[in-house]
Structure 1
Amino acid sequence: MGKDRSRSRAGARSGVDADSLFGGTAARKAQRKERQLCRQVQEAVSDALAALRDDVLQDVWVMDVEPAPDASRLAVIVRGGPSSPPDEVVARLERVAGYVRSEVAAAITRKRAPTLTFQVLPPEVAP
Structure 2
Amino acid sequence: MALDKRAREQMLAHCGEIHEDDGVDPREYFRTGRNHSKLDRKAKQLCRQVAETLDQILAGETGDDMLRDLRVAQVIPAPDASRLQVTVETSGSKAGFDRCELEARLARIAGFLRTAVAGTITRKKAPSLSFVVAATPAADSGSGKGGR
Q: TM-score range by the shorter chain?
A: 0.7 to 0.9
Report matched runs for 1:78-89 at 5 Å. 78-81=88-91, 82-89=95-102
- Which residue matches 2:127? 114
Identity of aligned residues (%): 45
The aligned amino acid for 2:85 is A
Name whichever of 117-126 and 72-81 sits farther off: 117-126
Give 1:28's match in structure 2, choosing from 37, 47, 50: 37
Alignment TM-score, normalising by the size of structure 1: 0.78
Following superposition, the deviation at residue 44 of structure 1 comes to 1.1
Map Cα deviations across residues 17-71 of structure 1 (whole Å, 9 max, x no partner).
Answer: 361xxxx111111100000000001011111212221110010010000001000
Aligned residues: 109
1:71 matches 2:81: yes
Stretches of structure 2 lacking an aligned partner (at least 5 in a row): 1-25, 142-148
The aligned amino acid for 1:17 is F
Q: Which of structures 1 and 2 has the bigger CA Rg?
A: 2
Stretches of structure 1 lacking an aligned partner (at least 5 in a row): 1-13
SS of 1:125 mapped into structure 2: helix
- Separation in 1, partners of 2:30, 2:125: 33
- Separation in 1, partners of 2:120, 2:108: 20
The aligned amino acid for 2:48 is R
More helix by share: 1
Q: Does structure 1 retain, via aligned residues, the 8 Å contact 2:58–2:71? A: no
The aligned amino acid for 1:43 is E
Report matched runs for 1:1-127 at 5 Å. 17=30, 19=32, 24-50=33-59, 51-81=61-91, 82-125=95-138
- Separation in 2, partners of 1:95, 1:124: 26
- Separation in 1, partners of 2:136, 2:96: 8
Map Cα deviations across residues 61-91 of structure 1 (whole Å, 9 max, x no partner).
Answer: 1000000100000000011243422111111
